[in-house]
């Protein structure tokens, strides 16, 4: 993968070069593992590093400065902007421990976002980038967080982010939880930042439940069941097929 820089000034490129090189280097080992164990057969052509503003207003209209398509991963490396974004998603709700967590959001957690985007390129996912992915997007999005978190984070870091997102689901359930997880992708990206993130949190927690509670930690078993659902014609919503409780 190439590293491509799309900033408005040379100074921005210079200021982010250290962190982009660090993230890129750390991603290499994860990429090799995806190739060896999780059917990454064709990697994207590059990572396009850019600013939060350009990512969300020029390259896309989604308020999250990281996304991928068939050829490129788009990503803001500005960890301070990510910290502000995640604090903003709290909508002013008083959750001091979570606020503190996001204030010190780490490079390792930022790496997970980048690894999330790379994981989308695994051939274990059945839908293509140009498909209208409306009936199983939660599974792909949840797995794209679960897999890198499980592999790249320490046990403490993994437990911490899981606790944070579990609490956020409880906090915002009444406001944003009145739809099935199977609806993720139909209109999710038209909502607020928090309503969008709510479905990401819920997707991750659902996949975690499936892997750890229903498959004794065997990720491939869950992928096999997902493929079975597809081969059977997707006759049931995927949450019903899995008997997913978080959905």
Give the residue extent of every domain in the chain: 124-247
Mind listing the pLDDT tens digit for each residue in 31-44?
999 999 999 999 99
How far, in Å, CA of 206 to CA of 203, rounded? 5
Q: Which residue is listed with tokens 């609490």? A: 167
How far, in Å, CA of 210 to CA of 56, rounded? 32
Predicted confidence at residue 70, as pLDDT, reads 87
Predicted confidence at residue 184, as pLDDT, reads 86
Predicted confidence at residue 135, as pLDDT, reads 73
Mind listing the pLDDT tens digit for each residue in 157-199?
999 999 999 999 999 999 999 888 998 876 656 789 999 999 9
Predicted confidence at residue 117, as pLDDT, reads 98
How far, in Å, CA of 123 to CA of 2, rounded? 21
Q: Are the C-beta atoms of residues 122 and 34 closer than 8 Å to each other?
A: yes
How far, in Å, CA of 147 to CA of 139, rounded? 12
Tokens matching residue 1: 């993968």
Percentage helix, strand, coil, to 5, in the chain? Answer: 60, 5, 35
Predicted confidence at residue 55, as pLDDT, reads 97
Predicted confidence at residue 80, as pLDDT, reads 97
Q: Average pLDDT, whole number, for the chain?
A: 93
The distance from CA 9 to its chain's CA centroid, rounded to whole angstroms, is: 28
Predicted confidence at residue 194, as pLDDT, reads 95
Residue ranges in the chain modelled with pLDDT below 70: 129-134, 186-189, 245-247
From 171, 173, 175, 184, select the one nearest 145 (Cα to Cα): 184
pTM: 0.94
Predicted confidence at residue 133, as pLDDT, reads 60
């Amino acid at each position: 993968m190439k590293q491509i820089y799309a900033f408005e000034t040379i100074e921005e490129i210079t200021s982010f070069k250290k962190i982009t090189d660090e993230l890129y280097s750390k991603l290499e080992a994860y990429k090799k593992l995806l190739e060896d164990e999780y059917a990454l057969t064709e990697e994207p052509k590059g990572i396009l590093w850019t600013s939060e503003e350009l990512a969300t207003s020029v390259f896309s209209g989604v308020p999250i400065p990281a996304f991928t398509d068939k050829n490129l991963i788009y990503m803001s490396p500005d960890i301070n902007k990510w910290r502000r974004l995640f604090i903003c998603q709290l909508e002013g709700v008083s959750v001091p421990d979570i606020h503190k967590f996001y204030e010190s959001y780490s490079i390792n957690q930022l790496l997970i976002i980048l690894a999330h985007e790379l994981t989308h390129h695994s051939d274990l996912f059945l839908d293509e980038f140009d498909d209208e992915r409306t009936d199983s997007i939660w599974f792909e999005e949840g797995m794209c967080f679960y897999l890198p978190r499980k592999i790249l984070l320490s046990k403490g870091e993994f437990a911490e982010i899981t606790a944070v997102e579990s609490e956020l689901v409880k906090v915002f359930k009444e406001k944003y939880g009145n739809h099935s997880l199977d609806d993720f992708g139909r209109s999710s990206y038209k909502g607020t930042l928090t309503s969008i993130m709510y479905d990401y949190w819920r997707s991750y927690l659902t996949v975690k439940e499936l892997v750890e509670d229903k498959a004794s930690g065997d990720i491939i078993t869950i992928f096999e069941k997902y493929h079975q659902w597809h081969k059977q014609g997707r006759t049931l919503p995927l949450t019903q097929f899995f008997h997913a409780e978080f959905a």
